[in-house]
Chains A and B, each alone.
Chain A
Amino acid sequence: MRSLPSTLIALGLLALLAVPFFPQLVYSVFVMKTLCFVLFACAFNLLLGHTGILSFGHAAFFGTGAYVTGLLIKTYGIPTELGILAGGLVAAMLGTLVGALAIRRSGIYLAMITLALSQLVYFFFLQAPFTGAEDGLQRIPRGTFLGLIDLGNNTALYYVVVGIVGTGLWLIWRTVNSPFGHVLRAIREHEPRAISLGYPVARYKVLVFTLSAGLSGIAGSLKAIIFQLAALHDVHWHTSGDVILMTLLGGMSTVFGPAVGAALVSSLNHYLDPFGAWVTVITGLVFMTCVLTFRQGVVGQLSQALRSRRSSTPAAKVDSRPRTHHQ
């Protein structure tokens, strides 16, 4: 069945692949950066939207990915693809640790714990001798991909980034629609019942934390390669806040809503950059509006509108969390 959303997705994919051919229209580095945040936000949403866990420290994983990849490639001359993989792996291990600690509490306490732990990571990267402190790791060589493709070329890098982000998103989609994903939703909806059904809830939570952190790390690694820079801003709580905003704005109850949110927020950051600190103010105002008036996000709101138009009884569905991925 060809539905409107799948047509839109196909069109979007085509547009994405065509980006390097229209440099006068869009700047491909900007699109690459946006793609990193798309992966980051969708990975983050595995926790927030699908398991009902708010992590306020996801920048720790994003930044760890960036720093590990940067360090390995720059200092130890490791091939780029292995560097990215290592960035993801170390971030995933950190995710296991943070997850195991954070899930000892729940709800807002968990949010506060993850924020505090990410601040710990922030100070680590600020003080560690190999991270260049305030300057960050600069001039990280891009190298080649699998020894074949020269990543110094923006177009080549662009398709590699599209490929990796695409694989990451596919993995997220598979996870959400797998039996594992169903258990995660059961935990979100009614944790005590999931426990009484015999699911090892704590282990599931740590596992999803690990997965989410690993993919966030890969997003950070890619960012480090694209800009050849891993900096403190990547581990700063501002970045943790940004990814929450992206997810909320796009719609946390959908699989790819956060992708739309990431595109919106990173455009906002990109085009408002000349206005300096005003960006923070505007981001804050958008955030506020989002929390107060449309908590389902852009995609959540849209898909609800679509569904109520399609169904004969308009108010049939009074569900606050539309699940588009069930179709």
Chain B
Amino acid sequence: MDIFGIPIQALLGQLMLGIVNGSFYAVLSLGLAIIFGVLKIVNFAHGAFFMLGAFTAFLLAQYMGAGYWLTLAVAPLAVALFGMLFEFLFLRRLYGLDPIYGLLLTFSLVLVLEGGFRVAFGSSGQPFATPELLRGTLNLGFMVLPLYRGFVIVSALLLCLATWFIIERTPLGASLRAATERSELTQAFGINVPRLVTLTYGVGVGLAAFAGVLAAPIFHVNPSMGSSLVIIIFAVVVIGGLGSIMGAIVTGLGLGVVEGLTRVFYSEFSSTIVFLVMVLVLLLRPAGLFGREEG
């Protein structure tokens, strides 16, 4: 069966790849949105933390013989701790200044981390094995789904929904939202805002690292795997607006699908389609699809 002269198997295959990429976009832009909401800082190092997650998993597996499931739990935590330390020691000094400085500081962290890993491991990719349990495929009748890709989609979406639930529906999330709106007033109510801020940065960074571990078996683990991604995420965030958690998730997923479809129909545009959509959105709806106008 063909659609517009394209075999439906190929179409579905690319669509599925698009959803996989979209899940990464969703998790990453979600983290970026959470961090921006509370810290008012655009975390340029988000891609670097994604890479750090993948590398930590790779190193744990390589040198300590850790299994996949252990690395999936440990690596994001380790990277989150590192991120919190970075926030506590450095990022904290820039609050109250022009948010541009936060962008620049996190950018400099990208250079240090990427350069450091390139010194240590070279630029080429390190292979990372798919976990034993998820090596097979699942026949859905209309298409064959590699199990691991299905696992990535499901776990990324569950993670997004869990994060959304925590922020929108729990007391912890309520104080977080309060700190976003009026941080001084929240402090006056006896909530330790600085600690909350550090925690938020840790969660955002942890999400990025988790996505990195998920991505490790699909992409090769290499020092620059995060930097091209973070630029796409920036475009996603410009399209969706940083104001809404759900907006970040939906936009990320949607753009992944759009990218997958573009790969089928106009493959030469597949690496630029997200940026082109951004241009279109800027022309038609400058504030972004889910955006509130920034101050």
Contact = CB atoms under 8 A, between A and B. Distances in A.
A107 interface: yes
Nearest to B293: A105
Interface string A255-279: 0000000000000000000001111
B238 A111 contact: no
Nearest to B121: A277
Interface stretch (B16-24, B103-111, B248-256): B103-111
B222 to A, nearest CB: 13
A284 B272 contact: no
Contact of A113 (B103, B115, B119, B278): B278
Contacts of A241: 107, 111
B215 interface: no
A117 B116 contact: no
Interface in A211-251: 237, 241, 244, 248
A115 B44 CA distance: 11
Contact of A237 (B109, B118, B227, B294): B227
A112 B237 contact: yes
Interface stretch (A87-95, A147-155, A286-294): A286-294
Task: Identify whether the interface residues of B are mostly helix, strand, loop, or mixed.
Answer: helix
Interface residues of B, number: 44
A57 to B, nearest CB: 10
A109 interface: yes
A78 B50 CA distance: 46
Nearest to A117: B275
Contacts of A284: 108-113, 115
A59 interface: no
Contacts of B99: 107-108
B101 A295 contact: yes
Nearest to B120: A277
Given A54-B100, A119-B231, A104 B107 contact: no
A295 B98 CA distance: 11
Given A107-B99, A116-B274, A244-B107, 19 more contacts: A54-B103, A101-B279, A105-B282, A105-B287, A105-B294, A107-B294, A109-B294, A112-B235, A241-B107, A276-B118, A277-B116, A277-B118, A277-B119, A278-B115, A279-B115, A281-B111, A282-B115, A287-B111, A288-B105
15 contacts: A54-B100, A104-B283, A105-B287, A108-B103, A113-B238, A115-B234, A119-B231, A119-B272, A119-B275, A120-B276, A124-B272, A237-B227, A281-B119, A284-B109, A284-B111
Interface of B: 42, 90, 93-94, 97, 99-101, 103-105, 107-116, 118-119, 227-228, 231-232, 234-235, 237-238, 268, 271-272, 274-276, 278-279, 282-283, 286-287, 294
The 9 closest A-B pairs by CB, nearest first: A280-B115, A284-B111, A287-B108, A284-B112, A281-B115, A277-B118, A112-B234, A104-B286, A116-B235
